Amino acid sequence: MAHYADLQKQTNDQRNQWHLEVDNIFNKMESLIFSLRHHHITTLKSCQSKLRSQNSSMIQTVQDNKEILKSNKVSDVNNYKSKLKEYRIIPQIPDLSLPSLQTNTVQGREFSIELGEYKATLTQTSLSSLTDEVSFLSVKELLEEAKVIANIPTNVKNLSKVACVGSDKAWVSGEDKMIACVDIHGAVQDTATTCETSANDITVTRQGELIYSDTVNRTVNIVRDGKTETLITTPRGWNPEGLCCTRSGDILVSMGTTDGSHRKIVRYQGQRVTQEIDKDEHGDPIYQGGAYAVFVVENNNGDVVASDVNADTVVVVVDRTGKVRFRYNNEPPGGKKSFGPSQIVTDSIGHIIVGDEFNDCLNILDQNGQFLRCVDNCELHVPGGLSVDSEGRLWVGLCDSREVKVIQYMK
């Protein structure tokens, strides 16, 4: 009888694994739909803005011409220049192809689903084959060799935090009190100033509003219309460090005690604490105490992903309930030094991307912790801040050179 009880347990374990794989696939689909929608809206808004600008200019020109007709000044007539040729060039309205969802089911044997270029297939086979198939879907999205799209100079000392806004802007910060918003051409679009010291971490809401953590005042702040508001004040003795805005609108705050002996990640819904990720099922700390902050990001399957430099296993991933899924600390192929993680980010496909300051590269993992690529061909000397824009490109802040590199790493 014990044998059958064991079989039943194994079957239930397999059921849970299958359900997890299905959840992973549909989480990717949901994230892809959001990304496509955001891209289309951004593109249409940009076109709308150009059309409005041209329309406004045309109205003004007509008004100016009426004034010239009424004028008795010869100079006004002589100086007149027609803008008809300029106005004949109308901003091109983008032809956006809307994706469609394609499904195919062979009852009891196979299920496939396709959206745009993303396709996933579940077949009645061994669990290992299913996992390999899902991993392959992630790998095929990556370029064999990443390429630098832009080099953006900044004046930020020890540039270590980057948070993208849309497709062509990002907030950047370092050791200075000022946080700057720069576009892909290097022009400063906006600035914000912290109160007493530099921001420990920065992120943006889904509406593009800047959020930063202030260790001195134990606050998490938001910048709205040029004004700073306090969103969260952490408990006495706990300092806010890493930040992440989730898809649901929650804020994940990694925090450490004043003496650095303990660290945890807290989920806030508004000012209300809804979850604390602190200890594992054995009662042991998930994140190690030490001198370094824990940086945190949410993956598209709900996992909470953190880089914990104080620990031997420096990438720690827990599921949405706070249960540890896996830890990662493999050295990159060809790495001359041990793994030296900095910031961490995830993308729309569920990849986990970790900066490695010791080896001047980036590690790309799938959402189950399998190593996929090492980006080491883009001259990433001491990579610090990491963020992914709405076009799926990486923005990497380089601490020493004070520049941001925009990198294409997916097809």
Asked whether the whole model's pTM tops 0.85, one would answer no
Q: Give residue 108's pLDDT.
A: 54
Q: Give residue 91's pLDDT.
A: 80
| Amino acid type, 379 | E
Read off the pLDDT band of 335 (50, 70, 90).
low
pLDDT score of 139 more than 80: no
C-alpha to C-alpha distance for 284 and 323, rounded to whole angstroms: 12
Residues 386-409 pLDDT 10s: 999 988 999 999 988 999 999 999
C-alpha to C-alpha distance for 407 and 401, rounded to whole angstroms: 16
pLDDT score of 137 more than 50: no
Q: Give the neighbor-by-neighbor strand order of the sheet with 118-123.
A: 101-106, 110-115, 118-123
Among candidates 83, 90, 79, which has minimal Cα distance to 61? 83
Q: Give residue 336's pLDDT.
A: 64
Q: Give residue 23's pLDDT.
A: 77
Among candidates 228, 229, 162, which has minimal Cα distance to 193? 228
Cβ proximity of 216 and 237 under 8 Å = no
What's the whole-number mean pLDDT along residues 7-13?
A: 74
Q: Give residue 138's pLDDT.
A: 45
Which of 104-113, 289-298, 329-338 is the most confident on average? 289-298
CA 26 to the chain's CA centroid = 19
Read off the pLDDT band of 129 (50, 70, 90).
very low
What's the whole-number mean pLDDT along residues 261-278?
A: 93
Q: Give residue 127's pLDDT.
A: 42
What's the whole-number mean pLDDT along residues 324-334?
A: 77
**What percent of the chain is predicted at pLDDT more than 70?**
90
Residues 175-208 pLDDT 10s: 888 899 999 988 999 998 887 677 889 999 888 8
pLDDT score of 10 more than 80: no
Judged on CB neighbours under 10 Å (0-12, 13-18, 19+), 201 is: buried
Q: Give residue 333's pLDDT.
A: 60
Spell out where 116-257 has E strands. 118-123, 142-153, 161-165, 169-173, 178-183, 188-193, 202-204, 210-214, 219-224, 227-233, 238-245, 251-257
Who wins on pLDDT, 238 or 135? 238
Q: Work out the mean pLDDT of the chain and round it to a whole number.
A: 84
Q: Give residue 133's pLDDT.
A: 42
Who wins on pLDDT, 228 or 17? 228
Q: Give residue 221's pLDDT.
A: 93
In residues, how long is the chain? 411
Report the phi/psi class of residue 216: left, alpha or beta, with left for phi > 0 and alpha for psi in -120 to 50. alpha
Q: Give residue 155's pLDDT.
A: 86
21-30, 128-137, 394-403: which range is least confident on average? 128-137
Read off the pLDDT band of 28 (50, 70, 90).
confident
Q: Show the tokens assigned to 123.
A: 């077949």
Task: Give the bridge partners for 394, in sequence order.
Answer: 388, 407
Residue 7: partners with Cβ closer than 8 Å, 6 or more residues away: none
Total Cβ atoms within 10 A of residue 11: 10
Q: Give residue 407's pLDDT.
A: 94
Residues 378-387 pLDDT 10s: 998 888 899 9
Read off the pLDDT band of 305 (50, 70, 90).
very high
| Amino acid type, 294 | V
Domains by residue range for the chain, with CATH: 2-140 (no CATH), 143-410 (2.120.10.30)
